[in-house]
Amino acid sequence: MTDDQQALPGVVVVGSVTADLTTFSTRLPVPGETILGDDFTLVLGGKGANQVVAAGRAGAAASFVACVGSDLFHDMIMDGLVDAGVDVTHVRTVPGPTGIAHIRVDASAQNDIVMVPLANAALSAGQIDAGLDALAGRASVLLTQLEIPAPLAMHAIRAGSERGLTVVLDPAPASALPDDIWRHVDVVTPNETEATVMTGVEVTDVASAERAGRWFLERGVGAAVVTLAGAGALLVSPDGARLVAPFPVEAVDTTAAGDAFSGYLGAALAEGATLDEAVVRAAAAGALAVT
């Protein structure tokens, strides 16, 4: 990390990194069917990597704690992170394959994803602690997700909280977490599906999104931001609920829109923005990410 980068507001991301293999087709095949696609891409991905790159683009000094494999995707991933200005000091290379995400995108820009963790499973509590100890002095925000093993995500949450970092959790892919972890989370950012899975409240509109947001607050979370795709994002805090209207764009591919949202949210908070201001910036970034 350069001296200029160290002078920027700091964000540290503990999370996943994958090689993203994406196919584009008019529609998705039904089980047992083969169809012809229109395009294919191979790029750096994973929720952690996407978020740390987004935080850097948003103007933060972005540092990453993660594991990458020793296979043919290694150099592509490391070069992509370095080219994006990410501090990779705490990205560890482990024997074996890099994490993989197989993504399918249809003509309406909707997608489905199968993520295989592989090298991401080698992340350890010791690596997380070492990274946070080294970075906590210059970072003020921690971002993490659930593409790494849940016990490690929870360790990162507690470790970040203990070091005085603002902890932002993107709870994807959604899975149940013990109630005692939530008091260590400052901001949680589920989409409708994740909020439904985690809270048991079926999120179908703003009112149900607020009920889901309150579920998190009742368990100790500082604030919940329930993203509602084309309907915007609902910020639920002890001060009330505020709907941030969507930015009108023509979606081409919604993959990683939520990661752009999280990365820009973290960067804005590190810069000193209020949560309201940070959510508006994040919503704008998420909208641009789908175009």
pLDDT, residue 196, reads 97
- Please count the structural domains in the chain: 1
Joined together, the tokens standing for residue 264 give 């820009």
pLDDT, residue 291, reads 47
pLDDT, residue 250, reads 60
Instruction: Classify strands 18-24 and 39-45 as parallel, antiparallel or unpaired.
Output: antiparallel
Asked whether 20 and 143 are in contact (CB, 8 A), the reply is no
CATH of the domain at 247: 3.40.1190.20
What is the identity of the amino acid at 205? D
Rounded to an integer, what distance in angstroms lies between the CA atom of residue 12 and that of residue 157? 12
Q: Where are the beta strands (DSSP E) in 171-287?
A: 187-188, 223-227, 233-237, 240-244
- Look up tokens 């309201």; give the residue: 276
Asked whether 213 and 241 are in contact (CB, 8 A), the reply is yes
Q: Which residues on neighbouring strands pair with residue 166, listed in sequence order?
A: 141
Best CA proximity match to 142, nearest among 214, 77, 64 = 64
Q: In which residue ranges of the chain is pLDDT below 50?
A: 252, 291
Rounded to an integer, what distance in angstroms lies between the CA atom of residue 280 and that of residue 268? 10
DSSP-derived letter for residue 230 is G
pTM, rounded to two decimals: 0.90
**Catalytic, out of 20, 87, 253, 259:** 259
Asked whether 146 and 172 are in contact (CB, 8 A), the reply is yes
Q: What domain range includes position 279? A: 3-28+37-289
Q: What is the pLDDT of residues 160-169, one digit of tens each?
A: 999 999 999 9
Joined together, the tokens standing for residue 148 give 């790494």
Among this protein's residues, is 259 annotated catalytic?
Answer: yes
pLDDT, residue 245, reads 82
- 10 Å Cβ neighbour count for 83? 10
Helices and strands of the chain, counted as H and E runs: 9, 13
